[in-house]
Structure 1
Amino acid sequence: MISTPVRSDARKWSDEQLAELFSEGFPSFITADRLVKEYIGRVREFFAGLDLMLLDADGVPVAAGWGVPLRWDGRADALPSGYTDALVRAVQGHEQGIEPDTLVICGAIVTPSLKGQGLAGRMLTALREAGQDAGLARVVAPVRPTTKARYPLTPIESFLRWRRQDGTALDPWIRTHERLGAEILAPAPVSQTMTGTVAEWEGWTDLALPESGDYVIPDGLSVLRVDRDADVGLYQEPNVWMRHR
């Protein structure tokens, strides 16, 4: 039995519980987005009511998801450029006293051993309901397509159109959103930008990067561009904007 959603800050969770929940979450280089680091503390402070967990019968977290509120006029060309820009707009809007009208679902994750049991959909539904309770009329999400890493050379503009023979999206995470009624709005080719030294990227990817150039990296949705002379690696991650309502 899965509980009704609770706020992630409702109580202190054990390291073991959180380690299991997030054990197959995101690649280590996802933390290299410097702008996210600048804003994430204020996101957690300002929008804790949109940071939720689902618990099992024993009170163990089995799914988590979170979002941010911002103001958006409903036009695709007025969307944030992606995940990072959504955080920036939400925080700046809050600090400027701008009344939000849109929930941006920033992410959802399920304990690996429980994948395929509908928990991701339940988590997304819980976030949508939390947004509605907060008076946010619209719901959008910069979706990170899970199978895009198999096609890092394919532009996101092409990938988001790929379908299976039954007409549903090739990517399972896009498919999950669509099953809940969401529609693809627009590509977000630069949803996040990650930078680091060559040594940092070699650590994050477990690859040797002996010369300047573009590299296909594990779990990368696009390629890593390495400049050995400048000692920097640049990775720009694409997402897909989807609208739930």
Structure 2
Amino acid sequence: MVCGERPDCAEQMRGPGFAGGWPEFIFHDPTAKRYSARRAEYFGHLDLLLVDEDDRVLAGGWGVPVRWNGDPATLPGGYTPANVLAVEQYEAGEVPDTLVVQAAQVRGDLRGRGLAEAMLTGLIETAAGHGLTRAVAPVRPTLKPKYPLTPMARFVTWTRDDGLPLDPWLRTHVGMGARILGVAERSMVMTGTVAEWESWTGLAFPDSGDYVVPDAFAPVRIDRAADRGELVEPNVWVRHR
């Protein structure tokens, strides 16, 4: 089902069943906020929902279309830069050829049942129906918050004995035939006041400096003199077949 056909989908996706999948700070990338309304208006036809017989949302996903030449070096900088590129290309009249999958989220009590793979497949097939012949994704590895001091470029090289990625979400993509292209070093940049960061994380930041915070991929940098905290989040680019 297309998300735009369900006015309540956004509310359900941020409700109790889904909220555990996203830390609060993830909603505070100011550039992403500036483009979010236009993204939803222009590309709602690429947003999908999986619902049960009682019309409850089980999983949801969305993406944006961009024009890309297939060279990993020319990919946008990550999640937020892909939003910006998609909106600006659309407004310039450029014809897209590539889907950037931005999320495929499953309700918390249903994870591990193959619904994420089904959602990814649905997003890619829907995009193909709209003439998008490539599909890439800036993936947020689910294990990365356990290793916030490890550079993402190193983290993506970690594998299990069977050669598959140690990270389960990267492993899902690779198991579907995706190929890791590289690191999106500035996929999202979350900013806020010191008080806001203390509220989002439940921690105190008495001094300026770098702090490890729950659910973050890297330390947040606190500048008390400027009353500002900033978290630069890296993601991993993968390309689906």
TM-score category (smaller protein): over 0.9
Is 1:113 the counterpart of 2:87? The answer is no
1:22 is displaced (CA, Å) by 1.9
Give the TM-score normalised by the residue count of structure 2. 0.97
User: What is the CA deviation profile of residues 217-239 of structure 1, one whole-angstrom value per residue up to 9, with x for unaligned ones?
Assistant: 00000000001111100100010
Match of 2:238 among 235, 238, 242: 242
Matched letter for residue 37 of structure 2: G
Matched letter for residue 54 of structure 2: D
- The residue number in structure 1 matching 2:30 is 34
CA distance in 1, matches of 2:154, 2:91: 37
Q: Flag structure 1 segments of 5+ consecutive residues without an equivalent.
A: 1-5
1:242 is displaced (CA, Å) by 0.1
1:17 is displaced (CA, Å) by 4.3
Match of 2:184 among 188, 212, 219: 188
Match of 2:83 among 66, 83, 87: 87
- The residue number in structure 2 matching 1:170 is 166
Is 1:13 the counterpart of 2:5? The answer is no
1:225-236 equivalences under 5 Å are 225-236=221-232
1:177/1:203 CA distance change after superposition, 3 Å = same
Q: Is the 8 A contact 1:186 1:241 kept in 2?
A: yes
User: What is the CA deviation profile of residues 84-131 of structure 1, one whole-angstrom value per residue up to 9, with x for unaligned ones?
Assistant: 100000000000000000000001110111111000000000000011
CA distance in 2, matches of 1:183, 1:15: 30
- The residue number in structure 2 matching 1:3 is none
Match of 1:200 among 175, 196, 202: 196
User: What is the CA deviation profile of residues 12-70 of structure 1, one whole-angstrom value per residue up to 9, with x for unaligned ones?
Assistant: 33888441442222100011100000001000000001111001122211000000000
1:149/1:99 CA distance change after superposition, 3 Å = same
Aligned length: 240
Is 1:77 the counterpart of 2:73? The answer is yes
CA distance in 1, matches of 2:11, 2:101: 26
Q: Is the 8 A contact 1:101 1:138 kept in 2?
A: yes
Identity of aligned residues (%): 52
